[in-house]
Amino acid sequence: MSLTIYPAIDMRGGKCVRLLQGDYDQETIYGDSPFNMAKSFAADGSEWIHMVDLDGAKDGKRVNDQFVIEAAQKLNVNIQIGGGIRSEEDILHYLENGVNRVIIGSIAVSNPEFAIDMIKKYGAKIAVGIDAKNGYVATHGWLDTSELKAVDLGKRFADAGAETFIFTDIATDGTLAGPNIAAVCEMAEVTGKNVIASGGVSSLADLQAIASQGIQGAIVGKALYENRFTLKEALKVGGSR
């Protein structure tokens, strides 16, 4: 089974950044233009780009949405966006402006009934983002940890019809220490749905290991920005879907 590669663009203050383990105080800036970064990823042949509004995730409202929509409307690439999506208005704002998939995260924990309604209404255009710390769900830009197990949340939304999950292990995110493949596999097994692995990818071998487990996709961020490998090399590992 081939692996879809999702190069990541995390946006804060209109710039491309990466955080270490979700810590807003440990930020590295990698570019001044999210659109130009997306354009380069599309030019390298990526079918998807994963964009995150970090300001939105922290503030609970859309902040960097103009960069997302610009990429969606001007580039021949699929865009998925997460961060700061708290209402159906937010979802429609993106979907009606060319974005292919909207990720609901914190709101899925605080208002699961709303999340289920959106999943039933918009189907495959909604992905559920589950961010975990030691197996428990973290919310609001990873500033809070709940008492809810990540796999239990995944099972609930899978039963409600969610088709795609983005699973992030906070302990590995931005560390280049390797992904938590066991946790990703557990989420895939419990939900029986498409799971995109996020966090910790540091090498092509990590991508090969994820692919060998039959996982649908992998988000790659810091490893690309730190030149551990190129996007073209990653796409070759992923193969065509």
Q: Is pLDDT of 241 > 60?
A: no
Known catalytic membership, residue 173: no
* pTM reported for the whole predicted model: 0.93
Measured CA to CA, the distance from residue 133 to residue 21 in angstroms comes to 10
CA distance 72 to 135: 33
Q: Cβ contacts of residue 198 below 8 Å, gap of 6+?
A: 8, 50, 166, 167, 168, 169, 173, 218, 219
The widest CA-to-CA distance across the chain, in whole angstroms, is 42
Active site residue 131: yes
Backbone angles phi, psi at 103, to 5 degrees: -100, 125
Amino acid 93 reads H
pLDDT (tens digit per residue) in 32-66: 999 999 999 999 999 999 999 999 988 889 999 99
Mean pLDDT throughout 91-109? 95
Q: What is the rounded CA–CA span in Å between residue 213 and residue 230?
A: 22
Which ranges of the chain does DSSP label H, i.e. alpha helix?
Answer: 34-43, 54-59, 65-74, 88-95, 106-110, 112-122, 150-159, 181-191, 204-212, 222-225, 231-238
Confidence label for 122 from pLDDT (cuts 50, 70 and 90): very high
Which listed residue (53, 55, 131, 173) is catalytic? 131
